Structure 1
Amino acid sequence: MKFALRLPFVVSSALALSTLLGFGSLASAQDGSPQMNLRRTDLTAGMYRIDTQLAVTPQQREIGLMFRKEMPQQEGMLFVFEQPGVQCFWMRNTLLPLTAAFVADDGTIVNLADMKPQSDDSHCSAKPVRFVLEMNQGWFAKRGIKAGAKLGGAPFAPR
């Protein structure tokens, strides 16, 4: 179960403890302002370029795209986790309809999930992944990008 924001189902005990003690980004998430200044990288999906914000820390992943009222069509957010796991997302405090692409280490899209704004419905990866790319809902479908397609870019380069 996610903890009231944008956390995966499994919450580390350290993060849970820091949240209970009032540390972490819950206060910044509760002020209702979107995070707009995350580090960025370019990804590719076939011939399409994606200007991607990177959510790499627990705090950044927790807030994700909450409170955003708009997002350009070529923009998305890549959630990067330390190790593969079944990643589950919901849409509490998220105003935009989004599609989540659950992505394997090599950039292969494992599965896609359309998500409704302001919903607590869980959307999970079909198998353990380290990456989740959120885009405006319909972006993947309009370009014919489905499960099995490969994304390119630095996060998916061989280690």
Structure 2
Amino acid sequence: MKFLKRKQIIQFILFLCANISSAVIAGKPIEIPTDPNFLIINTEQNAIFYEVEIAFLQTQASAGLMYRTDFPRNRAMLFKNFLGSMPEDKQEMFMWMSHTSLPLDIIFLNSKGVIVSIVENTLPFSKNIISSKVPAAFAIELNAGEVADKKIQQGQCVMHPVIYEKCESDKL
């Protein structure tokens, strides 16, 4: 089991190294347009709407929020687990904060959009690998503090047209 996890981390690092775009190499942020559809997180209190940048191309996912100095509070960045053309939640998902100056909250989702793991207040510029610790199909990056402020919790549903399956949660 440890060997498999170590292998996944190595694959993730190789993926990042092999797919960093020329913009990232030059130390410039990559621009990802906002999607016309809102990303919606259904909490026990209400629905939270975020403008969303979808980082599904490997160059976008490799760069993420690297080299950015600000990220609007009403914005999220959505990533998928690159196992194939369709996001799957068959293995852990890994992220990192290298060259990212903003502290973030990272929310991991299964293929149905249910929150399966949350990592709050990540450390800017850290080269430590951030793991979902459970199988995940998607990850969402938000400004640090959003999870606590908006009472976002494991088991809640996230909706957006690119999340292919219908979200079902015990907390809704």
Normalising by the smaller structure, the TM-score range is 0.7 to 0.9
Consecutive unaligned residues of structure 2, counting only runs of 5 or more, are 1-7, 167-172
Distance in 1 between the 2:145 and 2:56 partners?
25
1:43 aligned to 17, 39, 44, which one?
39
Of 24-33 and 47-56, the range deviating more from structure 2: 24-33
Greater alpha carbon shift after TM alignment, 26-35 vs 62-71: 26-35
8 Å contact kept, 1:108–1:150: yes
CA distance in 1, matches of 2:124, 2:11: 23
1:9/1:87 contact within 8 Å kept: no
1:32 aligns with 2:27: yes
Q: Which residue of 2 aligns with 1:4?
A: none
Runs of 4+ in 1 over 3 A off after TM superposition: none
Contact 1:70 1:96 in 2 (8 A): yes
Counterpart-to-counterpart distance in 2, 1:92 and 1:155? 27
TM-score under structure 1 length normalisation: 0.81
Among residues 121, 125, 130, which one is paired with 1:118 in the alignment?
125
Instruction: Looking at secondary structure, tell me which structure has more strand per residue.
Output: 1
- Residue 56 of structure 2 is matched in structure 1 by 56
**Which runs of 5 or more structure 1 residues have no equivalent in the other structure?**
1-7
**Conserved 8 A contact 1:110-1:126:** no
TM-score (norm 2): 0.76
Paired positions, count: 146
Secondary structure, aligned partner of 1:111: strand
CA distance in 1, matches of 2:49, 2:32: 19
Tell me the residue number matched to 2:93: 87
The structural deviation recorded for 1:10 is: 5.4
Give matches, 1:61-140, under 5 Å: 61-81=61-81, 82=84, 83-84=88-89, 85-114=91-120, 115-140=122-147
Q: Percent identity?
A: 23
RMSD of equivalent CA atoms: 2.3
Task: Tell me, in whole angstroms, the C-alpha distance in 2 between the residues paired with 1:15 and 1:132.
Answer: 16
Letter in structure 2 aligned against 1:136:
N
